[in-house]
Amino acid sequence: MQFTAEMIAALLNGTVVGDKNATVSTVSSIDGGKAGSLAYLTNPKYEQYVYTTEASIVLVDNTFEPKEEVKTTLIKVENVGACVLNLLEMYNATRPRKTGISKLASIHEGAEVGEGCFIGDFTVVEGTAKIGANVQIYPQCYIGDNVTIGEGTKLYPGVKIYEGCVVGKNCIIHAGAVIGADGFGFAPKEDGTFAKIPQLGNVIIEDNVELGANTCVDRAKTDSTIIRSGVKLDNLIQVGHNVQIGSNTVMSAQVGIAGTTKIGSNCFVGGQVGFADHITVGDRVQVGSKSGIDKNVPDGEIRFGFPALPGIQYHRSFAVFRTLPEMAHKMRELEKRLVKVEEK
């Protein structure tokens, strides 16, 4: 579907500078723009590409004043970032939506499937599962006994949801994610082997949650592992048994959360962060990449490093860490001079 600069400007309450009839049918980055695409300038360091891009239209802020000749059509708007988000959402909404149930899917006669659902090839839906309206389940997914999936949720290929787990409304779970596998629980025996501890709980995922590809959320030993509404988890994240993650918390890839840890709401967690078991992390906490959290963290704190330190303390310590080789060299020189003094 094509849109003219005039149409986009009217939609975004913007002003066209250039050809109002310029048309676009897709969105691109400003440094990779091609004819027929809409690009955008949100970071001043990319301004150079405004003058060289092949994109047909570029969104810029109202305050933007070109320093060179601009060959493309500009649309000046109040907030480029917000406008781009609106356009991407609209573009996504116009994409065709899959519907219908494949003849190659295996759906137990005891399962409930709401109206407007899509269920792809080789998906298995066990008995007593309940699938809400307009759910999209791509090929090769597995929905276990007594699983509940809220309306509007989307499961990409290969998602596995074990028995008894609950997924809320309008969630997105990407390919290969596993919900409800056994928590990592083993008890040591006298002979040195381990006895498996039964994991009898489930996983509860509330509304508007997004889980990345190959992310795993383990079922609880008892009660529930809970991911609250609005949580966004990146790819390859491990959530242990009985963990609770508060609403609107965001985590980057390869985070690992050990069992029974509680993480608050509106937290931001960088990639490859590790959380020890049985700790509590408050609301609005920020954790830098590759940090190790082994103790409770109060509300609103910032943590870096391993073991993690408060932000200011970490940066002061790092200032010392990076000078350690020079300090060691000076120490050796001082030791040599001290030996000579003592000999005299």
Do 269 and 249 form a contact (C-beta atoms < 8 A)? Answer: yes
Is residue 320 packed enough to be buried (19+ CB in 10 Å), middle (13-18) or exposed (0-12)? exposed
241 catalytic? Reply is yes
Q: Which of the following is catalytic: 241, 278, 315, 329? A: 241
Strands in 37-40's sheet, in edge-to-edge order, are: 15-17, 73-77, 57-61, 37-40, 26-27
Q: Is the torsion defined by CA of 71, 72, 76, 79 positive or negative?
A: negative
**224 is written with which tokens?**
């529930």
CA distance 248 to 129: 27
Q: How far from the centroid of its chain's Cα atoms is residue 298's Cα?
A: 23
3-class DSSP string for 84-127: HHHHHHHHHHHCCCCCEECCCCEECCCCEECCCCEECCCCEECC
Catalytic residues: 241
